[in-house]
Structure 1
Amino acid sequence: MAKFAANLSMLFTEVDFLDRFEAAAKAGFQGVEYLFPYDHPAEEIKARLDAHGLTQVLHNLPAGDWAAGERGIACHPDRVEEFRAGVDTAIEYATTLGCGQVNCLAGIVPQGVSQDEAHRTLVDNLRYAAKRLADAGIVLLAEPINTRDIPGFFLHRTEQALALFDEVGSDNLKLQYDIYHMQIMEGDLAPTMERHLARIAHVQLADNPGRHEPGSGEIHYPFLFAHLDRIGYQGWIGCEYKPATTTQEGLGWFDQARA
Structure 2
Amino acid sequence: MQRRSFLKNSLLSTGSLAIASASFGRTQTVEGQTFHLDYAPHDGMFANSAGKDFIDQLKYMHDLGFRSIEDNGMAGRTPEMQSKIGETLAKLNMRMGVFVVPKGGNGANTLAAKKKEHIDIFLDGCRKSVEVAKRCNAKWVTVVPGDFEKSLPLAIQTANVVEALRRGAEIFEPHGIIMVLEPLSDTPDLFLRYSTQTYEICKAVDSPSCKILYDAYHMQKNEGNLIKNMELCWDEIPYIQVGDNPGRKEPTTGEVNYKNVFKFLHEKGYKGVVGMEHGISQAGKAGEERLVQAYREVDDFM
Is the 8 Å Cα contact of residues 63 and 70 (structure 1) preserved in structure 2? no
1:37-186 alignment to 2 at 5 Å? 37-40=74-77, 41=79, 42-63=82-103, 73-75=110-112, 77=115, 78-109=117-148, 115=154, 118-146=157-185, 149-186=186-223
Contiguous gaps of at least 5 residues in structure 2: 1-35
Is the 8 Å Cα contact of residues 176 and 209 (structure 2) preserved in structure 1? no
- Larger helix proportion of the pair: 2
Identity, % of aligned positions: 25
Are the structure 2 counterparts of residues 38 and 172 from structure 1 closer, same or farther at C-alpha, using a change threshold of 3 Å?
closer
The alignment partner of 1:7 has SS state of coil
1:254 paired to 2:298: no
Q: Which letter does structure 2 place at the counterpart of 1:197?
A: W
1:18 paired to 2:58: no
Q: Which has the higher contact order (CA 8 A, sep 6+)?
A: 1
1:4 paired to 2:4: no
TM-score (norm 2): 0.75
Is the 8 Å Cα contact of residues 246 and 254 (structure 2) preserved in structure 1? yes
Are the structure 2 counterparts of residues 118 and 16 from structure 1 closer, same or farther at C-alpha, using a change threshold of 3 Å?
farther
Contiguous gaps of at least 5 residues in structure 1: none
TM-score (norm 1): 0.86
Q: Distance in 2 between matches of 1:179 and 1:11?
A: 19
Q: Map Cα deviations across residues 26-72 of structure 1 (whole Å, 9 max, x no partner).
A: 3321001121212222213223323544211221211369xxx8586
1:23 deviation in Å? 3.4
Q: Distance in 1 between matches of 2:291 and 2:69?
A: 17
Q: Distance in 2 between matches of 1:120 and 1:195?
A: 22
The one of 187, 205, 226 equivalent to 1:189 is 226
Q: Which letter does structure 2 place at the counterpart of 1:39?
A: G
Q: Distance in 2 between matches of 1:88 and 1:31?
A: 24
Is the 8 Å Cα contact of residues 177 and 204 (structure 1) preserved in structure 2? yes
Q: Which letter does structure 2 place at the counterpart of 1:90?
A: S
Question: Aligned-residue CA RMSD in angstroms?
Answer: 2.5
Is the 8 Å Cα contact of residues 192 and 198 (structure 2) preserved in structure 1? yes
Which has more radius of gyration? 2
Q: Map Cα deviations across residues 162-218 of structure 1 (whole Å, 9 max, x no partner).
A: 112222232332111111111111111111212222211011101000001000010
1:111 deviation in Å? 7.7
1:257 deviation in Å? 4.2
